[in-house]
Amino acid sequence: MLTAITRQVSPAIARCELTHLERVPIDASLAAAQHREYERCLGDLGCVVVSLPAEPGLPDSVFVEDTAVVVDELAVMTRPGAVSRRPEAASVARVLVPYRPVATITAPGTLDGGDVLRLGRRVLVGSSSRSNPEGVAQLRALLAPHGYTVEAVPVAGCLHLKSAVTEVALGTVLLNPAWVDPAAFAGLTRVEVEPAEPYAANALLIGRTVIFPTAFPRTAARLERAGVRLRLLDVSELAKAEGAVTCCSLIVAG
């Protein structure tokens, strides 16, 4: 059984943190409607959705993925690189307690969950503006006793590692080679995004289906040719806040 922890869209989402995108108006009502459809999709794919209430004072709080890294044995609460986002973690930690023992990244470490890509027992962490070497080292120390390897991967031109690469099937990743070196994924099947769709590498694998934005039809076609089954969603307003489909949930197995 999969549990998907989500949080409703903050009415203050227009004041979100931005690093690589220009600020444009965000329709909070439309973002909320898109997020409800996202939650319905998770439910359709077999997840039990645990939806937290909106946080009016925390503009980025819909992006719950950044607050924790959840593996089978442990939940690691992160220390987000953006100071404004650090208050988001406490309420998520309370929800995770029934599912996993909880550990925490501490200062001076910083870590965003969007920088963490788990491929079996291999955990890759983006060396980004949001996750620093101390955060990576702490995550390594916490996960090593459970048999995980943790390695840093350079990223450039995007916010998080999972802006540049995600898993779309067992042994298959979708990536933007301009933002992450494909050599880090040697031995895996690699599907590259359409060059005209640089933001298309973020996809959410649930079971054998991938939740994928409608904004990237050419990359979607590449995935379908590779045999990947897609569930397409419009997340255009959330994307204006530098969010994507992995960002809006924490998936907890078992």
| Tens of pLDDT, residue by residue, the chain (254 residues) | 999 999 999 999 999 999 999 999 999 999 999 999 999 999 999 999 999 999 999 999 999 999 999 999 999 999 999 999 999 999 999 999 999 999 999 999 999 999 999 999 999 999 999 999 999 999 999 999 999 999 999 999 999 999 999 999 999 999 999 999 999 999 999 999 999 999 999 999 999 999 999 999 999 999 999 999 999 999 999 999 999 999 999 999 98
pLDDT at 254: 87
Which 8-state DSSP code applies to residue 84?
Answer: G
Contact 174, 165 (CB under 8 A): yes
Q: 146 catalytic, yes or no?
A: no
**Architecture of the domain delimited by 2-253:** 5-stranded Propeller (3.75)
Give the separation between CA 165 and CA 158, rounded to whole angstroms: 11
Give the separation between CA 42 and CA 39, rounded to whole angstroms: 5
Contact 69, 113 (CB under 8 A): yes
Q: 160 catalytic, yes or no?
A: yes
Q: Is 82 exposed, middle or buried (0-12, 13-18, 19+ CB in 10 A)?
A: middle
pLDDT at 74: 98
Give the strands of the sheet with 2-7, arranged side by side.
Answer: 47-52, 2-7, 250-253
Using alpha carbons only, give the angle 170, 199, 194 rounded to the nearest 5 degrees: 75
Rg over CA atoms, the chain? 17
Contact 18, 63 (CB under 8 A): no
Contact 66, 112 (CB under 8 A): yes
Of residues 16, 41, 47, 247, which has the active-site annotation? 247
pLDDT at 108: 98
